[in-house]
């Protein structure tokens, strides 16, 4: 199957584990069924794939696990439509299709020797989680690592088990937050919107790369904060999460101006984003 | 020496190609309209009307299976489609606005990842184009750099002559091979004078100027003024020889079915809708703007080609009278 020249043909993968992150967000751990594919599959942090639930079709998600963790990949999705709801109904042992990896990636080698600030909102943590674990697995190559992560409410925070792990590490600074009104009585993070919490946390911009992922409104208000903190547009990276279908530059769906997110992205610097037509 | 084929021999050629088990597609009266349809005999060919829909679907069907899946003994099995079964095809009687479109679409379909469904059909097809003597007020091929006698995209190009025969020019090796294989139907000679081509009122547009204007006027009152009346029906895209947006969906049960690629349109409201509910092109004029930008800027940026052949079908089909040629002329005159 993988030897075919049919670019739409997926590899088959078995769901090895399922984690319910929130009431409507689920992580699937997938293992390729074909031994050769399992051994040869490689990707870079930031790349995405097309995941299929047979009988329903395909959905696009970033590969949420780290490329440094071999033998499996993970995707994390919110159940919002026909395909994602069908993926959610699948159980451990069931089969899904995976096409990819597609798109560009975060230039992690260029970040060696620098500090990193990850800023994520809600369900947008998965595209950064792949980089976070990639970098934590190569911890010696980076200076300070700060993670600012927020969601609407405590219940909406994804990867809660990993947030705890990052919180407990002494080589990571985690600042987690929820929107006003979203905190439970025992919440041990901050209350406030991500841009505000980021400004209070005030990570140094010196020799630092910022990686931002979240809803467009969060990104819109986060970029000026980063600017005030001293980050330049070349040192801020984000991923655009446009709707895609083919993933390979044919179906005409994901363009922002003349940029095809599936081929030219999904990873862009703030400078590149600002140069685009404002249609995302 | 130039070659000539009589109309009868052109129809005889179709008969022979059908006998050779080739898929022969050409303009044919279907009910009250002329459409590109499989021809079963030379007498099926209609040469006096522009088909309602473009010939694009010979290479890029409205809907096609791209894989099948089946659960066997509990295990899912995915199978590729057998593209070797795609028939050898001849598209015959396509005017330049249709014959020229695959030459444009080849760029996106063969760029980096190769869409072998489209490309295999292209490899197995020969296009017999014909100079256009039947256009109407909506035609604007000259405006976008084609012409009623443009050979671009044709393998064999026919020019209707006043005596009812056709001057033939083999443009590519495929065209030469078609003539060589049926040499007895062609005669050498200059033939009669050509029939007059369509007299289009439009002049060639300055596509470089239009592209520059588009680059500089992403936000312009023009889009709201003109494009807010678009109802997003998608007729323009579905009838266009060059539009290539598509969707992919499954048909069948969770145990047995096919995955299909099928046409889509950037004018549809949900085309870019994110799972979050955020829609980057949330109002109709943004969607129409994207249509114009894709055709006259983005495709050119990427592939150096204009994604429009000036066939005028979108103008004829638009239920609210949006005239793309008029919009381009407006931009051209700014």
Query: What are the tens digits of pLDDT across the range B238-260?
Result: 999 999 999 999 999 999 999 99
Tell me the H-state helices in B217-304.
Answer: 221-227, 235-238, 284-293, 299-303
Dihedral Cα B145, B148, B150, B155, nearest 10 deg: 140
List the 109-168 stretch of A: residues with Cβ below 8 A of B: 123
Phi-psi region of B146 (alpha: psi -120 to 50; beta: other; left: phi over 0): beta
Instruction: State the Cα–Cα distance between residues A148 and A170, nearest whole angstrom.
Output: 16
How do beta strands A115-121 and A267-269 pair?
Answer: unpaired
Distance of CA B295 to the CA centre of its chain: 13
Binding residues of A for [2Fe-2S] cluster: 246, 251, 254, 262
Partner B contacted by A56 (CB < 8 A): yes
pLDDT score, position B200: 61
| Coil, helix or strand at residue A201 | helix
Q: Is the pLDDT of residue B132 over 60?
A: yes
* Tens-place pLDDT, residues A202-215: 999 999 999 999 98
pLDDT tens by residue, A132-151: 999 999 999 999 999 999 99
* CB A247, CB A63: distance < 8 Å: no
Chain B hits for A243, CB-CB cut-off 8 Å, are 271-275
Please state, in angstroms and rounded to a whole number, the distance separating the CA atoms of residues B101 and A173: 56
| A279 touches B: beta carbon within 8 Å | yes
Chain B positions in Cβ-Cβ contact with residue A97 (cut-off 8 Å): 69, 78
For residue A248, list chain B residues with Cβ-Cβ distance below 8 A.
112-113
Chain A: closest CA distance from residue B80 (Å): 7
Top residue of A10, A55, A265, A266 to mutate, by most chain B CBs within 10 Å, is A55
For the cut 60, the answer to whether the pLDDT of residue A2 exceeds it is no
Q: What is the mean pLDDT of residues A24-51?
A: 96
Q: Mean pLDDT for chain A?
A: 94
The CA distance from B52 to B59, in Å, is: 17
* Chain B residues lying within 8 Å of A260, measured CB to CB: 302
Shortest distance, CA A65 to any CA of chain B (angstroms): 21
Cα A132 from Cα A142, distance rounded (Å)? 11
Count of CB atoms situated within 10 Å of the CB of B167: 19
User: Looking at residue B197, what is its pLDDT?
Assistant: 78
Inter-chain contact A6–B253, Cβ cutoff 8 Å?
A: no
- Which of the four pLDDT bands, split at 50, 70 and 90, describes residue B46? very high
* Angle made by CA atoms B244, B247, B248, in degrees to the nearest 5: 130
Q: Which residues of A are annotated as a binding site?
A: 246, 251, 254, 262
Mean pLDDT throughout A24-40?
A: 96
CB pairs under 8 A between A and B: 131
- Which of A169, A170, A178 has the alpha carbon at shortest distance from A149? A178
Query: Which of B246, B261, B263, B280 best probes binding to A when mutated, by most A CB atoms within 10 angstroms?
Result: B280
Pairing of strands B89-94, B23-30: parallel
What is the rounded distance in angstroms from the CA atom of residue A65 to the CA atom of residue A48? 11
Answer yes or no: are the C-beta atoms of A32 and A13 closer than 8 Å: yes
- Beta strand B125-130 with B89-94 is parallel
- % of residues, chain B, pLDDT over 90: 87
Contact predicate B132/B166, CB 8 Å = no
Residues contacting A50, CB < 8 A, separation 6+: A10, A58, A59, A60, A97, A98, A99, A100, A102, A244, A245, A247
What is the average pLDDT across B165-178? 96
Q: What pLDDT does A104 receive? A: 97
B1-31 pLDDT, tens digit each: 679 999 999 999 999 999 999 999 999 999 9
Tell whether B162 lies on the interface with A, counting CB pairs under 8 A. Answer: no
pLDDT of residue A3: 63
Choose the closest CB to A5 out of B116, B264, B293: B116
Q: Which residue has the tokens 């069948």?
A: B252
How many residues appear in chain A? 280
Q: Given an 8 Å threshold on Cβ–Cβ distance, is B80 in contact with A1?
A: yes
Task: Give tens-digit pLDDT for A219-246.
Answer: 889 999 999 999 999 999 999 988 999 9
User: Which residue in A66, A196, A83 sits closest to A126, CA to CA?
Assistant: A66
Q: Is B23 helix (H, G, I), strand (E, B) or coil?
A: strand
- SS3 assignment, position A255: strand
In terms of DSSP bridges, do strands A115-121 and A145-151 run parallel, antiparallel, or are they unpaired?
parallel
Rounded to the nearest angstrom, the gap between the alpha carbon of residue B179 and the centroid of all alpha carbons in its chain is 24
Cβ atoms within 10 Å of A177's Cβ, excluding its own: 25
Q: How confident is the model at residue A1 (pLDDT cuts 50, 70, 90)?
A: very low
Tokens representing A89 are 């109904």
The span from the CA of B9 to the CA of B249, in Å, is: 44
In this predicted structure, what is the pLDDT of residue B227?
85
**Residue among B78, B246, B261 whose CB faces A10 most closely:** B78
Mean pLDDT confidence for A193-210: 97
Taking CA B104 as the corner, what is the angle to CA B100 and CA B105, rounded to the nearest 5 degrees?
115
A26 touches chain B (CB under 8 A): no
Query: Looking at residue B1, what is its pLDDT?
Result: 65
Q: Is B116 on the interface with A (CB under 8 A)?
A: yes
pLDDT the model gives residue A154: 94
Q: If pLDDT is split at 50, 70 and 90, which confidence band does B205 have?
A: confident
- A239-255 per-position pLDDT tens digit: 998 899 999 999 999 99
pLDDT at B201: 63
Sign of the CA dihedral with B169 first, then B173, B175, and B181 last: positive
> CA angle at residue A89 from A88 to A92, to 5 degrees?
90
Q: What is the pLDDT of residues B50-105, one digit of tens each?
A: 999 999 999 999 999 999 999 999 899 999 999 999 999 999 999 999 999 999 99
Give percent of chain A above pLDDT 90: 91
User: How far, in Å, are A194, B4, B90, B91, B118 from residue B178 at the CA level?
Assistant: 67, 14, 10, 12, 22
- CA triplet B87, B121, B133: central angle to 5 degrees? 95
What chain A holds in terms of domains, given with CATH numbers, is 11-102 (2.40.30.10), 108-239 (3.40.50.80)
B280-329 pLDDT, tens digit each? 999 999 999 999 999 999 999 999 999 999 999 999 999 999 999 999 99
| Minimal C-alpha gap between A250 and chain B (Å) | 6
Per the prediction, chain B carries an average pLDDT of 94
Asked if B244's CB is within 8 angstroms of A252's CB, the reply is yes
């Amino acid at each position: 199957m993988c030897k075919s020249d049919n670019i739409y043909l997926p590899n088959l993968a078995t769901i090895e584990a399922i984690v319910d992150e929130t009431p409507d967000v689920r992580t699937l751990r997938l293992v390729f069924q074909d031994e050769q594919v399992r051994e040869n599959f490689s990707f870079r942090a930031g790349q995405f794939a097309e995941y299929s639930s047979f009988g329903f079709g395909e959905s696009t998600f970033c590969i949420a696990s780290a490329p440094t963790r071999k033998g499996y990949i993970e995707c994390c999705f919110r159940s919002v439509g026909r395909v994602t709801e069908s993926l959610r109904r699948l159980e451990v042992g069931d089969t899904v299709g995976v096409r990819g990896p597609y798109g560009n990636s975060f230039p992690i080698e260029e970040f060696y020797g620098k500090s990193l600030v990850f800023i994520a909102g809600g369900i947008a943590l998965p595209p950064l989680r792949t980089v976070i674990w990639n970098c934590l697995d190569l911890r010696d190559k980076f200076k300070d690592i700060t993670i600012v992560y927020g969601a609407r409410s405590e219940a909406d925070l994804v990867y809660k088990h990993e947030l705890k792990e990052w919180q407990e590490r002494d080589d990571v600074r985690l600042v987690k937050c929820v929107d006003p009104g979203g905190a439970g009585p025992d919440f041990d993070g901050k209350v406030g919107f991500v841009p505000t919490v980021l400004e209070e946390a005030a990570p140094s911009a010196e020799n630092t790369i910022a990686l931002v992922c979240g809803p467009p409104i969060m990104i819109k208000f986060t970029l000026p904060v980063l600017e005030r903190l001293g980050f330049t547009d070349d040192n801020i990276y984000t991923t655009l999460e446009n709707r895609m279908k083919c993933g390979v530059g044919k179906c005409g769906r994901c363009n922002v101006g003349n940029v095809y997110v599936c081929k030219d992205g999904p990873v862009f610097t703030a400078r590149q984003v600002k140069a685009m037509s404002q249609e995302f | 020496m130039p070659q000539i084929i009589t109309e009868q021999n052109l129809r005889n050629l179709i008969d022979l190609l059908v006998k050779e088990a080739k898929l022969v597609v050409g303009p044919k009266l279907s009910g009250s309209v002329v459409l590109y349809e499989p021809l079963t005999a030379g007498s099926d060919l209609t040469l006096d009307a522009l088909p309602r829909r473009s010939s694009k679907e010979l290479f890029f069907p409205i809907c096609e299976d791209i894989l099948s899946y089946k659960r066997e003994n509990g295990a899912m099995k995915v199978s590729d489609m057998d593209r070797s079964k795609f028939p050898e095809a001849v598209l015959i009687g396509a005017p330049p606005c249709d014959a020229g479109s695959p030459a444009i679409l080849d760029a996106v379909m063969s760029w980096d990842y190769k869409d072998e469904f489209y490309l295999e059909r292209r490899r197995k097809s020969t296009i017999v184009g014909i100079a256009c003597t039947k256009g109407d007020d909506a035609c604007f091929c000259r405006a976008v750099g084609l012409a009623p006698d443009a050979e671009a995209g044709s393998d064999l190009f026919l020019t209707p002559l006043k005596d009812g025969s056709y001057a033939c020019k083999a443009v590519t090796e495929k065209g030469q091979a078609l003539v060589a294989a049926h040499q007895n139907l062609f005669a050498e000679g200059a033939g009669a004078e050509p029939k007059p081509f369509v007299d289009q009122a439009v002049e060639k547009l300055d596509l470089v100027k239009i592209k520059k204007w588009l680059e500089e006027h992403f936000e312009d009152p023009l889009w709201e003024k003109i494009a807010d009346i678009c109802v997003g029906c998608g007729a323009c895209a579905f009838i266009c020889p060059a539009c290539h947006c598509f969707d992919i969906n499954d048909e069948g049960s969770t145990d047995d079915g096919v995955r299909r690629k099928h046409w889509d349109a950037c004018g549809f409201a949900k085309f870019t809708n994110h799972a979050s509910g955020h829609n980057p092109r949330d109002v109709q004029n943004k969607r129409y703007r994207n249509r114009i930008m894709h055709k006259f800027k983005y495709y050119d940026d990427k592939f150096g080609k204009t994604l429009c052949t000036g066939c005028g079908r979108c103008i004829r089909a638009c239920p609210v009278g949006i005239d793309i040629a008029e919009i381009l002329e407006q931009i051209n005159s700014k």
